[in-house]
Amino acid sequence: GAGVSQSPSNKVTEKGKDVELRCDPISGHTALYWYRQSLGQGLEFLIYFQGNSAPDKSGLPSDRFSAERTGGSVSTLTIQRTQQEDSAVYLCASSNGFSYEQYFGPGTRLTVT
């Protein structure tokens, strides 16, 4: 079956603009995760959803970041008023409610100019 998909694959935006990143998990996976991978920081966990709810939002880097998930499926990560330090690859993963093995999408490379 289809794996985790993310769109867009690349996004270049000007500083101060808002961006939306989309993640489509593997069908039937109840848990969905967002991570950020940047050169200096490695892979950093941002937020996870169990169904449509996110129990803990403390991993989001600032209040400019928000995420939602609707219908237990697609999720969007929104970054408002982007800054240059937001430039990174944003990765999404999903897992079932049994093994919790996480499967990753190809990522969205965000460049803020």
Partner 1 sequence: KQEVTQIPAALSVPEGENLVLNCSFTDSAIYNLQWFRQDPGKGLTSLLLIQSSQREQTSGRLNASLDKSSGRSTLYIAASQPGDSATYLCAGASGGGADGLTFGKGTHLIIQP
Contact residues: partner 1, CB under 8 A: 31, 33, 35, 42-43, 45-48, 50, 59, 91, 93, 95, 97, 99-107
Supply angle C-alpha 9, 23, 34, rounded to 5. 100
Which residue is it, tokens 């050169």? 39
Of 93 and 112, the one with the shorter C-beta distance to partner 1 is 93
Helix (H, G, I), strand (E, B) or coil at 85: helix
Q: Is 42 left (phi over 0), alpha (psi -120 to 50) or beta?
A: left
Helix (H, G, I), strand (E, B) or coil at 5: strand
- As a whole number of angstroms, the distance between CA 85 and CA 101 comes to 30
**Closest CB 16 distance from partner 1, rounded Å:** 28
Of 59 and 61, the one with the shorter C-beta distance to partner 1 is 59
**Closest CB 77 distance from partner 1, rounded Å:** 14
**Closest CB 106 distance from partner 1, rounded Å:** 4
Of 14 and 56, the one with the shorter C-beta distance to partner 1 is 56
Of 6 and 82, the one with the shorter C-beta distance to partner 1 is 6
